[in-house]
Chain A
Amino acid sequence: MSSYSYAAPTSVDEAVEVLATNAASGQRTQCLAGGTDVLVQMSSVDREPRLLVDVKHIEETNAIDIGNNEIYIGAAIPSAILNENEELKALLPGLIESADLIGSTQIQGRASIGGNLCNSSPAGDTIPALIAVGAQCVIAGPDGTREVATEDFITGVGTNCMSDSEFLLGLKIPRPGARTSDAYLRFIPRTEMDIAVAGAGVALTLDENGVCTAARVSIGAVAPTALLVQEAADALIGTNVDDVALQAAADACSAAASPISDKRGTVVYRRKVVGVLCKRAGAIARDRASA
């Protein structure tokens, strides 16, 4: 095949069939959501012909469902739509903020959380936020759907656990209960249009006395994949999430990080800053949870 081709299935079954048929024939296939990664890659580093399977004409990839126990976000919903959803913003402020950090207004008209996750960059901004809120990835394939925790979904730099005949339908997130909230912060040298040098997402629950009863902490851009840092969560649980606890969580994040030195930052810098971000995001999540 020496040219590009394009398919826009309108149902899960149709999509799975297109993917499976093409995979079987040995041709290169790639899913397309907003295209803000795919199209950029196609016009620069990777021009190889392929079949693009547009996944945003399927009901399940476009649905938002805020249930009593669970929130479902379709994989192809652009950030702009999420950012306008006040209910989601109130329930998952950190996750929605992470989607709101992607690119610019123009990019957000297209960029999706599903695309951000499936692109599987170590620096993807929504990934630590998704891990922090405990999101499950709903994957559709020839054998039906399966669910995988976000921290297990990504397997390496630019790789994930999906086969060629699978695609991401959406994300299931436990609905945050009382005194539960989240926050995500990233560090970039500029104020926007940049790539995270480090990122940290924190979700936590406080009891009536302000004592942390549950926490999840995830860090990004400081290892081949975003990490769930249990030691950082443990440092917060059972405390009032005061400065001492936050510093302990920060130190745990710095210790868990295994960054590289590159044009965007040194090992020392990233280690230090990821801790600072954890501390600051933890304080924001705490204030939100106690508000």
Chain B
Amino acid sequence: MAEAVDLKAIGTRPIRPDGIEKVTGRANFGADLNLPGMLHGKILRSPHAHARIKSIDVSRALALDGVISAVSGKDFPEKSGNDLGVNIIARDKVLYDGHAVAAVAATSAFVAEQALALIDVEYEVLEPVLSIDQALSDNAPLVNENNHTNGDTSKPASNVAAYQIMSRGDVEKGFAEADVIIEGEYRVPTAHQGYIEPHACTAAMNEDGRGTIWCSTQGQFDVRSNTAAVLDKAVSSIRVIPSEIGGGFGGKTTIYLEPVALHMSELTGRPVKMVMSREEVFRATGPTSATLCRAKVGAKKDGTITAATAWLAYEAGAFPGAPIGPGCMSVLAPYDLDNFKIEGNDVLVNKPKVCAYRAPGAPQSMHAMECAIDELARELDMDPIDLRMKNCSDEGTVAPYGPTFPPIGLKACLEATKAHPNYQKAKPENGGRGIAVGFWFNIGMQSSAEVRIAENGGVTIMEGSPDIGGSRASMCLMASETLGIPYEQINAHVGDTEGTGYCNTTGGSRTTFATGMAVIQACEDIIAQCKQRAALTWDLDVDQVDWEDGQAVPKPGVNADVSPLSLADIARSAGRTGGPLLGRASLNAQGAGASFSVNWTDVKVDKETGRIDVKAFTAIQDAGKAIHPAYVEGQMQGGAVQGLGWALNEEYIYNDDGIMENAGFLDYRIPVASDMPMIDTQIVEVPNPSHPYGVRGVGETPIVAPLAATSNAVRDALGFRIYDLPLSPPRVLEAIDEQENA
């Protein structure tokens, strides 16, 4: 760990390298690439939630003037009939409203769209599975007749794809020791990430079998390997060039269009561009899971929690893969418990396959538990912060999911809450205040980085993590700090799959931590080389040379009458000392540090209309070390707004046949700016010992606590609890009326 006092660049707030391009509209996003001779591809989507495809006939579409290609599932390699491939284009069954059935490529988008109407598909409509309750009920139809829980074919087929359990101690005994027990069942609806930029790509296949894909993605290397898998091609035959990204939040960690576009390019010999409409984004890309969570917690009169259980069921969509792992890991992570049991169920339903969304799985399970903890505090007549302080995880606590926590910032966040002026302020008259804790474990994984020095000493960072939250600025700041070179002399670039070393996808709040570590190591490589070049120049031993403030100097005590050599000096004469300076690092980052948060919000409820007015919101979060504090605050604010939106109005609305009724931003209500109060933030810094500058990931945690904080605030304002989200006006008014009539 570098000494905090020494830091010059880290912790400052310079403008971002990609700022000018974005505010002037010159940045290129997924849909901005056009190539000569390019065709436009469109996808025909299922109008049914669950149906057998009896036949597909594209001949009428192909006959339309301007249509060059029309394909369906049978045109794709049989080998790709796995979940990924079948999600991209259906084979014998359609599994959700919006499931891709066929695709056309035509000379214009308009013609392509007209052609879709000429594709004849015969369906045998099947009964859809539309909720967890239905999926788990006896005699429920099966989404997949071949699905057996955890692959255990000795049991009958089921809609539960996976079940997992984590436990410690004896919960029966723990509850027996409790003076107070709180139990509840909570539902959270499906929510979409709501990125502004729809999925888009252009793909071109050459006659030599090499393909190039330009697209908006959080991970160009995953696009490459996934596309290769779906098309049964060699990974190395595909090059993926990531564009600037207009939001992802986890939703651009998988692929939808790319193999279809590349396949049609191969068939036609022309580039194919595909851009989703907003409706397609809602109907056919992965939102996060709707969930049903049961939380139970018991405590002694003094507030000591004696036992807790959580039973989680998450909708996976039509294919396995709901984030039950992280949901289970997170639900009790803030608490140091002797007795707990956590169960997770990955449940198949006829809805789109879920995808990652900020802290995947954690907001839902922690909503349930943080509401239960709030009820516990009320029942015990204890301050909700004091109750959490009494039971909170700290350094040395064995996390529910196994490892022992190194230093973590939960206590520091709780203390900062109590001291915060917003917390000391009275809540609004007739209003309510709600508090909740958030958590995300964060991840490391593989990253590579190169640092290239120009002849004048200018620094270029080349790395492979698409920048979804200002990471290029953070890379430049860490390089600036490490090299001792001003921020302005450093550029950071996100390379394509041929232009940079392998990096795992941007996600899980890994980039500033893991790719940042690679950048730091690549800078250290440069420093080592510079010391060598200086030693050579000065005729000294390399260990007689130091690197200080961006220049090579003889170590104290070394008798040499020389002036320091700056990076620019060394770069200028690099030709004479061994060639260009190129630093490299690749790693599999270990020791990602968990990030805890405390959020609270003040609300007022219009008791005649059920409308909730969010008056104030404060987020406190441990960043380990905020490399660029403004972007950390931005993450905290953005996550808070997404969490508030989910708590207040966001939800997928399906009719009885499983057709999505609100596939657009008019009726899928993300908050607008005027709905939101200022999101106040305070960064807490408890350094992560595993990162050179103490970084913890910060991007996921912010969305976790707002759900329960809002529920708890509404509980406080109304005097009774509404267990389910969203707290939309009709639901709130209905609950108020029921309460009044009760």
Contacts and interface: CB of A to CB of B under 8 A. Distances in A.
Interface of A: 47, 187, 189-195, 197, 262-266, 268-269, 272-273, 276
B486 to A, nearest CB: 40
A187 B609 contact: yes
Given A189-B728, A197-B729, A269-B733, 13 more contacts: A187-B729, A189-B611, A190-B649, A192-B674, A194-B666, A194-B669, A194-B672, A263-B653, A265-B729, A265-B730, A269-B729, A269-B734, A273-B729
Nearest to A262: B661
Contacts of B611: 187, 189
B678 to A, nearest CB: 15
Q: Size range of the interface on B?
A: 20 to 34
Interface string B698-742: 000000000000000000000000000000111001100100000
A192 B670 CA distance: 11
A247 B195 CA distance: 44
Q: Which DSSP category, helix, strand, loop or mixed, fits chain A's interface?
A: loop
Contacts of A273: 608-609, 729, 733
5 contacts: A190-B672, A191-B672, A191-B675, A195-B666, A266-B734
Contacts of B662: 263
B733 A272 contact: yes
**Which of B113, B609, B737: most chain A CB closer than 10 A?**
B609
B294 to A, nearest CB: 27
A276 B609 CA distance: 8
B608 to A, nearest CB: 4
Contacts of A191: 672, 674-675
Contacts of A189: 611, 648-649, 669, 728-729
A269 B730 contact: yes
B176 to A, nearest CB: 44
B667 interface: yes
B407 interface: no
Interface in B646-680: 648-649, 653, 661-662, 666-667, 669, 671-672, 674-675
Nearest to B661: A263
Contacts of B661: 262-263
A109 to B, nearest CB: 18
Given A268-B734, A269-B733, A263 B669 contact: no
A187 to B, nearest CB: 6
B675 A190 contact: yes
B671 to A, nearest CB: 7
A273 B608 CA distance: 7
Contacts of A190: 649, 669, 671-672, 674-675
A193 B668 CA distance: 12
A194 B113 CA distance: 28
Contact of B672 (A192, A262, A264): A192
B66 to A, nearest CB: 13
Contacts of A194: 666, 669, 672
A19 to B, nearest CB: 27
A47 B671 CA distance: 29
In the complex, the 9 A-B pairs of residues with the closest C-beta atoms, listed nearest first? A191-B674, A269-B730, A276-B608, A263-B653, A263-B661, A191-B675, A263-B662, A193-B672, A189-B649
Contacts of A197: 729
A192 B649 CA distance: 14
Contacts of A268: 734
Given A187-B609, A189-B611, A189-B649, A263 B667 contact: yes
Interface in B78-121: 110, 113
B608 A266 contact: no
Interface in B23-71: none
A262 to B, nearest CB: 8
B290 to A, nearest CB: 16
Nearest to A272: B733
Contacts of B653: 263
A264 B672 CA distance: 17
B96 to A, nearest CB: 18
B727 to A, nearest CB: 10
Contacts of B733: 269, 272-273
Contacts of B667: 263-264
A3 to B, nearest CB: 11
Contact of B730 (A47, A195, A266, A276): A266
Nearest to A275: B608
B625 to A, nearest CB: 37
Nearest to B278: A44
A220 to B, nearest CB: 16
A265 B669 CA distance: 13
A164 to B, nearest CB: 26
A266 B737 CA distance: 14
Contacts of A192: 672, 674
A195 B666 CA distance: 8
Nearest to B655: A263
A262 B737 CA distance: 20
Contacts of A187: 609, 611, 729
B286 to A, nearest CB: 21
Interface in B598-613: 608-611
Contacts of B649: 189-190
A259 to B, nearest CB: 12
A244 to B, nearest CB: 16
A191 B671 CA distance: 9
A149 to B, nearest CB: 30
B501 to A, nearest CB: 42
A264 B666 CA distance: 10
